[in-house]
């Protein structure tokens, strides 16, 4: 049975260079799969990056929340289902599911799920614009959100237990010439203590974007651990070293391997 047009399905096969030292797809890989599927769906609706660029507009990810129950391994098939879930003021919300290979009954297990909020930004003024006129032909499907998240503001950590620095490379940039949104997820994970990376897997990631970073910027990640427990939680402040401007705030939750 075919999917309705307002639900997009994309298949991916995990490749060796998309895995981590445990042989599983990284969180960056899963986020890239989602971005690819979302971009294809936007193209289908006539609101792709290329078509918006012709109007001097572009998509910008404002919020992302991903929860992963099981990471696929090298060679595994991953199906991404994504769909628009509505408009909230200046934001367009989009949901997604990561599905594994079919079992004997033809059912695909849910490996992970997520929700996101996007802005359309005027490239010259660098300000959000109203997006309702762009979505007159899009009707969200009658299905629940993948994650019931109201995108409440994440407060930056009041202090820092760990600090890391990353210089923005040319390869970190996207077609808008600012840092690709997946890089922020990568940096947040890289700022977690090594002992946690070896003994735990990332269970949930929340990202809140507030400013752009460009080539040559140095990004400082200040990371603070939450209450001690079996499942570590960290809050991350990502800021430009040159002016201390916060570019993103993240929260990561980890589970024992």
pLDDT, one tens digit per residue, over 197-219 is 999 999 999 999 999 999 999 99
User: CB-based contacts of 209: which residues, under 8 Å, 6+ apart?
Assistant: 60, 61, 62, 63, 181, 184, 247, 248
This model's pTM is above 0.95: no
| pLDDT over 60 at 2, yes or no | no
Homologous superfamily, domain 8-135: Hotdog Thioesterase (3.10.129.10)
The whole-number pLDDT of residue 138 equals 75
User: 124-148 pLDDT, tens per residue?
Assistant: 888 999 877 766 677 889 999 999 8
3.10.129.10, 3.50.50.60, 3.40.50.620, 1.10.10.10: which CATH number matches 162-256?
3.10.129.10
CB atoms within 10 A of CB 49: 16
Residues of the chain with CATH 3.10.129.10: 8-135, 162-256
Selected residue with higher pLDDT from 10 and 3: 10
The mean pLDDT of the chain is: 92
Report which DSSP code applies to 170: G
What are the C-alpha distances in Å from 230 to residues 36, 48, 114, 227, 256?
34, 43, 24, 10, 8
Q: Length of the chain, please?
A: 257
Q: What is the mean pLDDT of residues 216-227?
A: 95
User: 37-64 pLDDT, tens per residue?
Assistant: 999 998 888 887 788 888 888 899 999 9
Structure tokens that stand for 16 in this block: 């060796």
User: 150-182 pLDDT, tens per residue?
Assistant: 899 999 999 999 999 999 999 999 988 999 999
- Helix, strand, or coil here: 23? coil
């Amino acid at each position: 049975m075919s999917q309705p047009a307002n639900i997009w399905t994309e298949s991916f096969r995990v490749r060796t260079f998309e895995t981590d030292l445990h042989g599983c797809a990284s969180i960056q890989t899963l986020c890239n799969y989602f971005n690819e599927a979302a971009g294809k769906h936007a193209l289908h609706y006539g609101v792709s990056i290329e078509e918006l660029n012709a109007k001097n507009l572009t998509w910008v990810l404002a919020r992302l929340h991903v929860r992963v129950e099981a990471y696929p391994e090298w060679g595994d098939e991953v199906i991404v289902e994504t769909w628009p879930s509505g408009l909230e003021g200046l934001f367009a919300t989009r949901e997604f599911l990561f599905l594994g290979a079919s079992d004997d009954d033809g059912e695909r297990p849910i490996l992970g799920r997520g929700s996101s909020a996007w802005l359309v930004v005027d490239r010259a003024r660098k300000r959000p614009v109203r997006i309702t006129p762009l979505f007159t032909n899009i009707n969200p499907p009658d299905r629940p959100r993948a994650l019931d998240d109201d995108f409440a503001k994440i407060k930056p950590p009041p202090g820092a237990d760990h600090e890391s620095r990353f210089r923005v490379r040319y390869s970190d940039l996207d077609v808008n010439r600012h840092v690709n949104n997946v890089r922020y997820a990568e940096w947040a994970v890289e700022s977690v203590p090594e002992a946690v990376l070896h003994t735990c897997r990332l269970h949930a990631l929340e990202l809140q974007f507030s400013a752009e970073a460009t080539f040559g910027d140095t990004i400082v990640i200040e990371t603070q651990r939450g209450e001690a427990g079996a499942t570590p939680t960290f809050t991350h402040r990502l800021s430009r070293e040159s002016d201390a401007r916060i570019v993103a705030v993240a929260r990561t939750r980890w589970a024992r391997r």
